[in-house]
Structure 1
Amino acid sequence: MNRIHRLLKPVKVDWNNKLINIHWNDNKSCNFHNLWLRDHSRDAHSFHPITKQRLVDTYAIPDSIQPIEVSQSDTTLSVRWNDNSTCKYPYHWLYNNSYYPKLSEVKRDIKPTWNAQQIRQNTPTTQYTDIVHSDKGILNWLQNIHTHGIGFVEGVPSTPEHTEQLTQQITFIRQTHYGTFWDFTSDLSHGDTAYTDIALGAHTDTTYFTDPIGLQLFHLLQPATVQGGDSLFIDGFHCANILKQLDPPAFDTLSTTPIPSHSVGSQDAIIKPAQQSGYPIINLDNITGELLQIRYNNDDRSVLNALSPKRVEDFYRALKIWNGILNDPRNQFWLPLEKGKVVLFDNWRILHGRSAFSGKRRLCGAYINHDDYMSRLRTLTEKHFDHDLRNEYGTLF
């Protein structure tokens, strides 16, 4: 709890059969519905102290729920309800979760974005030995991913076994129709152009999944024996911000127009997202409006047969502008992957691609779920920095 929250106190509390009204010592006031407060009690009889799950029976709370008595301590508002329960609410928790009106700012997770020059000059890198010897090394790696969308690990033994073990230091690997941990060459063992030697334009993976994969890891075990095969990485959030500044209508089109997609190249897979219309290329958080996910692979796009005539025209116009931004060399971070150097990136933010190559090229890697990656980041943050992260009135609640 920061100093401002420690100083917050009510100067007056009123209530009636519907609301509790709190006047704060910063000259602000807010209301809470009686039903909402009773339903959100964090006392042990209403909220399990270990599992952090709700125990209160919402449907047993009477419609006529209202306070019998309200009292104040230095840090807590205590309410005795007419259902014979007594609940305590820390002031900072009430203020942070106010809604009528909302008094505290919505939590925002604004990340710095980058162009090619910036990421080349300040490439986020963690040493392999730091990761295998301490989970602080894993935390450093995941913080790089969370902040920059990409993070490299140097000094990794150049074997699939060591690379798989490194991946599992984060969390379990997500299995898909491509397998679990992959070790592949350009043999077209799966019906996807990634398993060829042709160039791949900037894209994100698995746009055809209802829940696209979160992180993707690559380790080049053998560079192309003749030539080519350099890797491309683009900060999709940076490009989306450029689009928004350059052409707001185009940004609006790509953040609201659903795009269908599919994966049917393998005989054992016919994959389409559950939402038949698909999802927009640019997805925003529905509370903060911040960038949440880039979902773009023009090669995997299905037939656009559910758009209005006007939307079709707007979409192709916006798509060309988007493509121009992606193909601006200032936004393209090209580099040859190396043996012993693993790259991990956020597939919800970073677009990747590859130049054509000739000869044999061997790569291994894996997918990780986004929710599982974020869970690992939070648990390590809790362990080393924020011990109150998941308490009854902590920053998660």
Structure 2
Amino acid sequence: MYPRQQAVARLKQLTQLIRNYSSARLCENKENLILDIQKQQEVFPLVWLRDNCKCTSCFHEHSTSRIIKWIKFDTSPKVSTIEITNDNNLVLQWHDKHISKFSIDWLKERSFREDSQQKYLQENYRPARIPWSQETFDAARKVYEYEDIMKNDHALYNWLVDFARYGMVFTRNAPNDNHAAAKVANRIAFIRKTHYVEEFEVRHTPGTSNVAYLSGSLQLHTDLPYYEYVPGAIILHCLVQTDGEGGDSLLSDGLYHAEKLRQENKEAFDLLSSVEVNWLDIGSEHGDKYHTIFRCPVIRLDLQGNIDKIHYSVPQRDSHFTVDVKHVKPWYEALKLFVNSITHGTSKLKLQPGELLAVDNVRLLHGRTSYQDSDKTERYLKGVYIDWDELFSKMRVLKSQK
């Protein structure tokens, strides 16, 4: 037998072996299909299988889009025949004679087992976040070269992953270019525009309507909590740093301190994650007036009870507090506990010209120590916002190209 024929024969044997390890049957209620794959049992609802048929009548492959006519969809489909083919596909014939074909590998990737689902979410949805404290700040502080992330996709991918995990990432040796932060955002996707325009400046500005544009201390906060669709991330580029005392950047991990509060005082945590706060900003920027209001708790949870977002800014918390009066004092006491924790757990560093700091604006709280601003001691940062939707999208695209 020629080598090519031997290889084909071995492949057929392997295919048959895989097939022998796969079997399919309906469960007793006839609503789920049980698939045994190499001693691993998988359960797939028939309604899900019918909804995800890959035939050309149900799915448009080029656009990776479902096109099944849902107005005619039967949510209680019935199967007439079940077959696992020699080429390792599951073939179902439905009662209406429609045929659906699924690769066994494709089905395994879409397992309904919790461990498989969690693995998929961490690898494809969002990397698992790693909380950090003041004590572990240095280990969480990842640093990259500006030229690397701008020219090397592998470096940018790692930059994005570290940013998602730790809520911050540092970049050094950026050019003395007012648009260096914008170029990073545009390398990833595009800038998120707000009423502060696309590229905003952080420097002492007399008569400003924003306390960030003063030279005094800036207590810990998240930016723009009064936006319903709050910008997810900030990229700040230090162009000029004061030579004197002050001007240090302050960072505290809201995720770490919120979880700490949940463990130490569940009642306080429940108040901060359930009582809605009015966040407000009124002012003008470049001649355009704005009046923005949004209501949400300080700690926002997802449907599984996980901490999703942090909204916190003392200047932007409205005096209108539209809650039951019985919740007011307990809420203030709960907030005080949280503020004490994030403040005592603050990490401090002084950005130098050419350094960029990217901050997760719905997780980390950031601030600044005061400094003396004069002709000789100036501090000047340029910043942009970008949304996490775009950061995660770029991460997945780069991962698929690895």
TM-score, normalised to structure 1, is 0.84
Structure (1 or 2) with the larger CA radius of gyration: 2
Q: Say if 1:152 and 1:342, in contact at 8 Å, map to a contact too.
A: yes
1:159 and 2:177 matched: yes
> Aligned in 2, Cα 1:265/1:225: closer, same or farther, shift over 3 Å?
farther
> Aligned in 2, Cα 1:10/1:313: closer, same or farther, shift over 3 Å?
farther
Counterpart for residue 7 of structure 2: none
1-structure distance, mates of 2:251, 2:341: 13
Q: Say if 2:140 and 2:166, in contact at 8 Å, map to a contact too.
A: no
> Aligned in 2, Cα 1:137/1:70: closer, same or farther, shift over 3 Å?
same
Q: Determine helix, strand or coil for the equivalent of 1:302.
A: coil
Counterpart for residue 352 of structure 2: 338
Counterpart for residue 257 of structure 1: 275
C-alpha deviations, 1:267-303, integer Å up to 9, x for none? 6111123xxxx1122222324x332211221321124
Q: Determine helix, strand or coil for the equivalent of 1:79.
A: strand
The count of aligned residue pairs is 370
Which of 362, 370, 385 pairs up with 1:348? 362
Q: Say if 1:96 and 1:103, in contact at 8 Å, map to a contact too.
A: no
> Aligned in 2, Cα 1:59/1:35: closer, same or farther, shift over 3 Å?
farther
What are the residue-to-residue correspondences of 1:223-302 with 2, within 5 Å?
223-224=241-242, 226-266=244-284, 268-273=289-294, 278-287=295-304, 289-302=305-318
> Aligned in 2, Cα 1:102/1:8: closer, same or farther, shift over 3 Å?
farther
Which of 75, 79, 82 pairs up with 2:92? 79
Deviation at 1:15, TM superposition (A): 6.6
> Aligned in 2, Cα 1:122/1:211: closer, same or farther, shift over 3 Å?
closer
Name the amino acid aligned to 2:313. N
What are the residue-to-residue correspondences of 1:300-339 with 2, within 5 Å?
300-328=316-344, 331-339=345-353
> Aligned in 2, Cα 1:173/1:64: closer, same or farther, shift over 3 Å?
closer
C-alpha deviations, 1:228-275, integer Å up to 9, x for none? 2111011111111211111122222222222221111226111123xx
Counterpart for residue 376 of structure 1: 394
Name the amino acid aligned to 2:331. F
Name the amino acid aligned to 1:14. L
Counterpart for residue 3 of structure 1: none
Deviation at 1:30, TM superposition (A): 3.7
2-structure distance, mates of 1:208, 1:191: 15
Q: Say if 2:19 and 2:85, in contact at 8 Å, map to a contact too.
A: no
What are the residue-to-residue correspondences of 1:131-210 with 2, within 5 Å?
131-188=149-206, 190-210=208-228
Q: Say if 1:15 and 1:67, in contact at 8 Å, map to a contact too.
A: no
Structure 1 unpaired stretches of 5+: 1-5, 385-397
Deviation at 1:138, TM superposition (A): 1.5
Counterpart for residue 393 of structure 1: none
Q: Determine helix, strand or coil for the equivalent of 1:327.
A: helix
Q: Say if 1:160 and 1:183, in contact at 8 Å, map to a contact too.
A: no
Deviates more, 1:6-15 or 1:237-246: 6-15
Q: Say if 2:238 and 2:351, in contact at 8 Å, map to a contact too.
A: yes
> Aligned in 2, Cα 1:164/1:110: closer, same or farther, shift over 3 Å?
closer
Q: What is the Cα-based RMSD across aligned positions, in Å?
A: 2.7
2-structure distance, mates of 1:40, 1:311: 47
Q: Percent identity?
A: 26
C-alpha deviations, 1:344-368, integer Å up to 9, x for none? 1111111100111111321111000
2-structure distance, mates of 1:241, 1:321: 13
Q: Say if 1:138 and 1:169, in contact at 8 Å, map to a contact too.
A: no
Name the amino acid aligned to 1:351. L
TM-score, normalised to structure 2, is 0.83
Counterpart for residue 51 of structure 1: 63
Deviation at 1:310, TM superposition (A): 3.5
Name the amino acid aligned to 2:89. T
1-structure distance, mates of 2:169, 2:311: 20
> Aligned in 2, Cα 1:55/1:191: closer, same or farther, shift over 3 Å?
same
2-structure distance, mates of 1:366, 1:189: 22
2-structure distance, mates of 1:8, 1:351: 56
Deviates more, 1:110-119 or 1:372-381: 110-119
